[in-house]
Structure 1
Amino acid sequence: MFKHALQAVAFLSEEKITTKVEHLKKTFKWSDAEVGIAVSKAPTVLHRTKESLQRRSEFLISEVGLEPAYIACRPVILMYSLEGRLRPRYYVIRFLKENGLLDHDRDYYAAVMISEKVFF
């Protein structure tokens, strides 16, 4: 993980890192501790654009209904494609739950993390 953290900040100035951290706090409504958890688990989140993080925040918090603390503990979810993985899997899971084909307590993160082959 140290290698990933070093790569994430190697070409960012202290000002840019501070700006990115403030944006994460504002966008995901995270505390300093939650930002620390998220960045320590997925340092490359610092390389995501503001627009990309904003779209993921709106989708994951508003549409999926995930709590900001839940996302902070599983920040790798922010690395996946919104249109290629996050949205499609959410809609499939929602459809299956609505039609009684899947337990309602099924974890969204578990569905996102598994491979495409296993998901199908």
Structure 2
Amino acid sequence: MQLQRLLPNVAILKKYGVKESSISFLTVYYPDSLMMRSDELVKLVDKVTELGMDPSKSTFIYGINALYCMSRSTWEAKKKAYHKWGWSESDIHMAFSIHPRCMRLSKKQIMSVMEFCVNEMNCDAKSIARRPAVLLYSLEKRIMPRCRVVKFLMVKGLIKEPYNLLSILTIAYKTFSERFVMKYDNVPGLLDVYHGKLSLQDLGIDSSELAKAKLV
């Protein structure tokens, strides 16, 4: 039965322009995605394409797997969470096409990261739709300490230019530590902010000052 479904489904993906390397990856790491009925796979591939994903790109298979693993009600619940932050349908489609895993996050993860980035860091909610990888990082272990340190340094006038939120999160731990922590470890309060012992408000930094220090 598995082979009877696998071969026709592989042929369908090839017909849509999915590369053999992507099909091989899907077969090895997400084999269940190829075990559905062929008519269901066609509907799924059409849906992923409608959401803005290119079958010839390697990310397309992640879109297939993301939709395969979600019920319609779960998909709608995730959309509703993003709508609460002002995302339009096109914003959601764009984010999904860039990083399909953003729709597989728990509602709690979505809401907590958006809450922090928008309300505490003053980031534009829609800009996160263009950088959905932001949502995948650990809020407590990566997003909070890094963003707070950079904001702290900006408010203190120690770094000037606006910093890209995603670039702050993606750089290696050692690089971030050397560039933003160890270089300024003599600044009172910095290490406590980085290690979560003090908030920016604990250091007397008010919301108006934070609003001026932009993470883009």
Q: How does 1:24-39 map to 2 (within 5 A)?
A: 24-26=82-84, 28-39=85-96
AA at the equivalent of 1:44: R
Structure label with greater radius of gyration: 2
Distance 1:116 1:108 in 2: 15
Is there any run of 5+ residues in structure 2 with no aligned partner, and where? 1-58, 178-216
**Percent identity between the aligned chains?**
29
Question: Does structure 1 residue 79 correspond to structure 2 residue 132?
Answer: no
The one-character-per-residue Cα deviations of 1:31-60 (angstroms, maximum 9, x if unpaired) are 111111111111111221111111111101
Distance 1:112 1:66 in 2: 14
Tell me which residue corresponds to 1:5. 63
Query: TM-score, normalization: structure 2?
Result: 0.52
Q: How many residues align?
A: 119
Distance 1:20 1:105 in 2: 30
Tell me which residue corresponds to 2:36. none
Greater helix content? 1
Tell me which residue corresponds to 2:75. 17
Indicate the structure whose relative CO is greater, using CA pairs within 8 Å and at least 6 residues apart. 1
Question: Does structure 1 residue 64 correspond to structure 2 residue 121?
Answer: yes
Contact 2:121 2:147 in 1 (8 A): yes
Q: Any runs of at least 4 consecutive aligned residues in structure 1 with deviations exceeding 3 A, and if so which?
A: none
AA at the equivalent of 1:106: Y
Tell me which residue corresponds to 2:40. none
